[in-house]
Amino acid sequence: MKKLCLHAFLACMIWIAGLPCALAETVYVSSITQITLRTEPGVEHRIVEMLKSGTSLEMVEYRKDWSMVKTDGGKEGWILTRFITREKPKILLVDELEQKNDKLTRELAELKTKHRELTRENARLADIEKSYNQLKNDSAQFFTLKKQYAQIQKDYQSQSSQIQVLEAGLKNDKTIFMLTGLGVFFLGLIFGVGARKKKKSSLL
């Protein structure tokens, strides 16, 4: 009995696997202009909706002539099986390619814009780097000049001190020279007066 049930179950699985379309599988309206979705299988039944080529449908129940499907909007109905396909119709593929092309075009435009912005930013950074290097160089020159100025100022103070010492020495030399001159003058005057006195006394 168990073997019989198992065989029956396997047979059902094989039969289901052999169905052209699995349940809940996505199928499409094939490349025709329009097809009717009806309440029941058969052209005599009421039309629920007109489906365009490329419309995506969910397979609910597959039959050889008519299949029950469900639209993305939630409507269920029957459609001729020969007008549905598992493969995406070319019109959908073309639409998808156009959408991808539009997306790539937009992304390319964005990349070009970003590239231009990066180019401007790199140029601005280059200018900043140049200005920084110039400032760095000017700063180095400034510190060098400042150091040289400090040294010159130090040398000037040292020379000023030396000049003051020399000027003081020169003043002393002038004083000594004047005193020496006066001393010589007075000595000459004294010696002259004495010589005159001796000469007068010898004449007497």
57 and 47: one domain? Answer: yes
Residue 25: CA count within 13 A, CB half-sphere: 16
Q: How many domains does the chain have?
A: 2
Q: Report the Cα–Cα distance between both ends of the chain, in Å, rounded.
A: 195
What's the pLDDT score for residue 7?
Answer: 44
Tell me the mean pLDDT in the region 85-114: 80
Domain membership flag for residue 57: yes
Structural domain boundaries, residue 109: 90-150
25 and 84: one domain? Answer: yes
- Stated as kind and residue range, the H or E segment containing 26 is strand 26-29
Domain membership flag for residue 26: yes
Domain membership flag for residue 187: no
**Residue-by-residue DSSP string for 46-101:** PEEEEEETT-EEEEEE--SSEEEEEETTS-EEEEEGGGEESSPPHHHHHHHHHHHH
pLDDT digits (tens, 9 = 90+) for 125-145: 888 888 878 877 877 777 777
pLDDT over 90 percentage in the chain: 6
Boundary-marking domain end, from 50, 66, 88:
88
75 and 20: one domain? Answer: yes
Q: Is 54 exposed, middle or buried (0-12, 13-18, 19+ CB in 10 A)?
A: middle
pLDDT digits (tens, 9 = 90+) for 11-28: 444 344 444 445 567 766
Boundary-marking domain end, from 150, 167, 186:
150
61 and 119: one domain? Answer: no
80 and 108: one domain? Answer: no
Domain membership flag for residue 161: no
CATH code, 20: 2.30.30.40
Q: Is 13 exposed, middle or buried (0-12, 13-18, 19+ CB in 10 A)?
A: exposed
Boundary-marking domain end, from 150, 165, 190:
150
